[in-house]
Structure 1
Amino acid sequence: MMEPEVFVNCRFLEKEITGVQRYSLEITRELKTLYPAVTCLAPDQILHPDLCEELDAKVIGRHTGHLWEQLDLPVYLRSKGSPVLLNMGNSGPMFYGNSIVVIHDIAYERYPDAFSLQYRLLYRIMVPRLLRSAKAIVTVSEFSKSELVARFNLSPDDVSVVHNAVRGVFRNQTAESTERYILAVSSINRQKNFHSLIQAFNRLRDVEVKLYIVGGFNRIFTDPVLKAEVTGNPNIVFKGRVSDGELISLYSNALCFVFPSFYEGFGLPPIEAQSCGCPVVASNAASLPEICADSVVYCDPGSVDDIAQKISMLLEHDELRQELVRKGFANSRRFSWSRSAQKMYSIARAMIDENSGMVRS
């Protein structure tokens, strides 16, 4: 008997491939490899035609963005008998019930100033509606699960956790280099706490290192105090967006990776760093203690002094760095895109069986 089709909402191909989009892409890749009955659906105007071709995505509809997701996508699915739809990017058609929805976090509620008014209003309408209509709810960590349960009055039994992971290309590529630098990687939003990291770096004394920051950084210059902190120190270097190859090299050759975020649903960059053999200083907030366990040095994200102290600790103690490298490799292996995709498909398969009244042994 042929497996019933599961459809994947590939609207994420309209956007830059960052955290949420990376999750959607990697699980979709694994699903396509493991289960031939998975079909990808995408709007016509996308940023990544190469990925659309790789995923063998079927282009449908005439709209883009939210209109495509709310109009074209459910209309097409109903014409196919309303099969299971997997939405992995914090959004989905609000009035299509036979769906799985993945909500990565509720940062728009916890740190509203980091988002536009339009974005906040949209997600405050859309997310509760999606959670009510979806047959299965998924998130990326036990922390995010607790956030969803508390904020939306959900039963813990109704929320599954399917983790992020790191792609196999993220492996140590140490090169002979005279550069000594600390690395930070993320979008530069307020909750990512780069302002405290920069202030902490400026407090380091008698240390000849640079701070490399990877990611979009336009917002950082809207704060005049922070702008002064940055422009006054030539050892702070903004790399902007870099290729995967450049990022792997930066991780592999950094003295340490620092991630002082106030709020993460999962927190993928520390795990990427660990996969490349880079020791990590991470915030003790939100999901990070769950995801990083005992494999990092933790800092208080609310204390510039503590962040600076923990960075100094790693810079001054080679044995500690080597211990964290070993623990980091082990920690990163806890997460696998293949295992996550299998768990996601098992959720879809259970929905199919429930719809047909079957009980699988």
Structure 2
Amino acid sequence: MKIGIDVSSAVNQTAGIGRYTGELVAKLLEMDGRNEYVLHSFFGDASDLAARLGLPLSRIYVHGFNGRALRSYLLGLKLIGRTPNHLIRKVDLFHVPDFSFPAPKGIPSVLTVHDLIFLRYPEYFTWANRTFMRQIAKFSAHNASAVIADSYSSKQDIIEYLSIPEDKISVIHLAAGSQYVPAARQQIDTVLGGLGITEPYLLYVGTMEPRKNIATLLKAFSYCIGSMRDFPYRLVIAGSKGWLYDDIFKLVEELKLNEKIIFLGFIEDNILPALYSGAEAFLYPSIYEGFGLPVLEAMACGTPVVCSDVSSLPEVAGDAALLFGPRDVEQLAAHILSVIENSQLRSSMIEKGLVNAERFSWEKTASDTLQVYERLG
């Protein structure tokens, strides 16, 4: 079978959907010796992705597009809501890992829907953005031959908001990458020294935007400072600036936390394992996640996790994290203080987290995805 995969999201992006796409393609090619893969990129050069991931070029065909083809793609998307067939190299099946790129007509297709936050929490998006995504998501999901969800939580959202039959949806979990393991002390010290982190710290990793609920995190951190004499910890926030990020800096000023918070901006993957490993705890107060990869990454690095109890996060965290209501500042603060002050609890959380992270693997993700392909092929 000749399988086409849209890798547009992975060409210029190593986080989120881009990471999922890259990890999936790499594992499929490693495990699957029977099928041929055609990588399509509508934005950027898929050859660069193949080189970055070390993909065996003898087993794949990389299909890219020039400016004229790109204009044709965008026109087709606008007029018919589909990727024009003449832009797709002949394949037996086409997988779209990002629902904003609808599959072409007449080809069995697989669509991955990671989350539907724009339908669950429309207030976090502009009218134009959520309207476009709602239309594309509904059209793409209804016309796909099969739909993959990252979690059972996302599956329920797909059924409720897109009216997709349950038997059309397969839940296939993601996983932490193989680089996420407890880092050696020397590696931690080297990375922290390079980042200018010299004191014990609590860590958040993720985009700075409203749905990540960083405001609750800042308020809980401030509460901890007021509750513990000589509170020695900094709060390290690692992630790109997203929509309405200015509100976060305003709150830092209001809470007088300027001297206690370190904003690192975007951090490359090769640094993250040491950053996770060096943290006293990883804090993830998100309002909504389709999966919540940072929770697993932190656990795999041997770091205790405190996360919110909504959407997919309890499903991913299992019994290894301390959970809190995403708007409950005092509960989050209490959990932070418990991890800091109770060494027995901390050790137990580290052990449980390492075990929990092993429940997930990219090998299983790829294997389960291949089963979906084979059912259609």
TM-score after normalising by structure 1: 0.89
Distance in 2 of aligned mates of 1:90 and 1:226? 34
Specify whether residues 160 and 44 from structure 1 end up closer, same or farther in structure 2 by C-alpha distance, changes over 3 A only. closer
Q: CA distance change for structure 1 residues 284 and 72 in 2, over 3 Å: closer, same or farther?
A: closer
Q: Which amino acid aligns with 1:247?
A: L
Q: How many residues are treated as equivalent by the alignment?
A: 346
Superposition deviation, residue 69 in structure 1: 8.4
Q: Which amino acid aligns with 1:184?
A: Y
Q: Which amino acid aligns with 1:67?
A: L
In 2, distance between residues paired with 1:68 and 1:239? 39
Once the 2 structures are TM-superposed, how far is the Cα of residue 92 of structure 1 from its aligned partner? 2.6
- Choose which of 6, 10, 13 in structure 2 pairs with 1:13: 10
Q: What is aligned with 1:50?
A: 48
Quick one: which of 368, 373, 376 aligns to 1:343?
368
Q: How does 1:127-138 map to 2 (within 5 A)?
A: 127-138=137-148
Mapped partners of 1:44, 1:297: distance in 2: 40
CA contact (8 A) 2:218 2:252 kept: no
Mean Cα displacement is larger for which, 220-229 or 4-13?
220-229
Verify: 1:271 aligned to 2:278, yes or no.
no
Structure 1 gap segments, 5+ residues each? 353-361
The aligned amino acid for 2:49 is L
**What residue in structure 2 maps to residue 59 of structure 1?**
63
User: In 2, are the aligned partners of 1:314 and 1:321 still within 8 Å (CA)?
Assistant: yes
Pick closer, same or farther for the CA change 1:173–1:319 going to 2, 3 Å: same
The alpha-carbon distance between structure 1 residues 69 and 24, as it changes in their structure 2 partners (threshold 3 A), is: farther
Which residue identity lines up with residue 13 of structure 1 in the other structure?
A
Q: Residue 345 of structure 2: which of 320, 327, 336 is its match?
A: 320
- Is the aligned partner of 1:188 residue 2:208? yes
Q: Greater shift after overlay, 242-251 or 62-71? A: 62-71
Q: Distance in 1 between matches of 2:262 and 2:254?
A: 12
In the alignment, the residues of structure 1 paired with residue 240 and residue 255 of structure 2 have an alpha-carbon distance, to the nearest angstrom, of 15
Partner of 1:248: 273
With 147-156 and 279-288 compared, the bigger mean Cα shift is at 147-156
Quote the offset at 1:231 in angstroms: 5.8
Corresponding residue number in structure 2 for 1:92: 101
CA shift in 2, pair 1:272/1:73, >3 Å: farther
One of 12, 26, 31 as aligned partner of 1:29: 26
Three-state SS of the structure 2 residue aligned to 1:213 is strand
1:112 alignment partner in structure 2: 122
Q: Describe the SS at the equivalent of 1:282.
A: strand
* Residue segments in structure 2 that go unaligned for 5+ positions in a row: 190-197
Q: Indicate how the Cα distance of structure 1 residues 18 and 73 shifts in structure 2: closer, same or farther if over 3 A, else same.
A: farther
1:175 deviation in Å?
1.7
**C-alpha distance 198-59 of structure 1, shift in aligned 2 (>3 A):** same
- Tell me if structure 2 keeps the 8 A contact 1:104–1:144: yes
Equivalent position to 2:152, from 138, 142, 164: 142
SS of the residue aligned with 1:244?
coil
Establish whether residue 220 from structure 1 lines up as the match of residue 245 from structure 2: yes
Root-mean-square deviation over aligned CA pairs: 2.2
- Asked if structure 2 preserves the Cα contact closer than 8 Å seen for 1:182 and 1:209, the reply is yes
User: What residue in structure 2 maps to residue 239 of structure 1?
Assistant: 264
Q: Does residue 179 of the first structure (1) align with residue 199 of the second (2)?
A: yes
Q: Which residue of 2 aligns with 1:83?
A: 92
Check whether the contact 1:43–1:68 (CA below 8 A) recurs between aligned residues.
no
Note if contact 2:309-2:325 (Cα within 8 Å) is conserved in structure 1: yes
Alpha carbons 1:94, 1:126 under 8 Å: kept:
no
| Cα distance in structure 1, aligned partners of 2:329 and 2:129 | 30
Equivalent residue, structure 2, for 1:170: 180
CA distance in 2, matches of 1:152, 1:132: 8
Secondary structure at 2:176 match in 1: coil
Aligned residue identity for 1:241: F
Residue 19 of structure 1: CA displacement?
1.3
For residues 241 and 327 of structure 1, the distance between their equivalents in structure 2, rounded to whole angstroms, comes to: 28
Match of 1:358 in 2: none
1:21 shift after superposition: 1.4
- Give the Å deviation of 1:52: 3.4
What code does the residue aligned with 1:74 have? N
* Correspondence 1:334 to 2:359: yes
Partners of 1:28 and 1:89 lie apart in 2 by: 14
69 and 16 in structure 1: CA distance in 2 versus 1, 3 angstrom threshold = farther
In the TM superposition, residue 232 of structure 1 has moved relative to its aligned partner by 3.8
Contact 1:12 1:24 in 2 (8 A): yes
Q: Distance in 1 between matches of 2:336 and 2:248?
A: 24
Q: Write out the 4+ residue segments of structure 1 that deviate beyond 4 Å after TM superposition.
A: 68-73
- Aligned equivalents of 1:68 and 1:326: distance in 2? 53
Choose from 128, 131, 137 the match for 1:121: 131
Q: In the aligned structure 2, how far is the partner of 1:281 from the partner of 1:112?
A: 26
Distance, in Å, in 2 between the alignment partners of 1:240 and 1:223 is 13
Q: 1:325 to 1:27 in 2, by over 3 A?
A: same
Other-structure match for 1:359 = none
Q: Which amino acid aligns with 2:85?
A: P
Which residue of the other structure, out of 210, 223, 235, is the alignment partner of 1:211? Answer: 235
Displacement after TM superposition at 1:227 (Å): 4.3
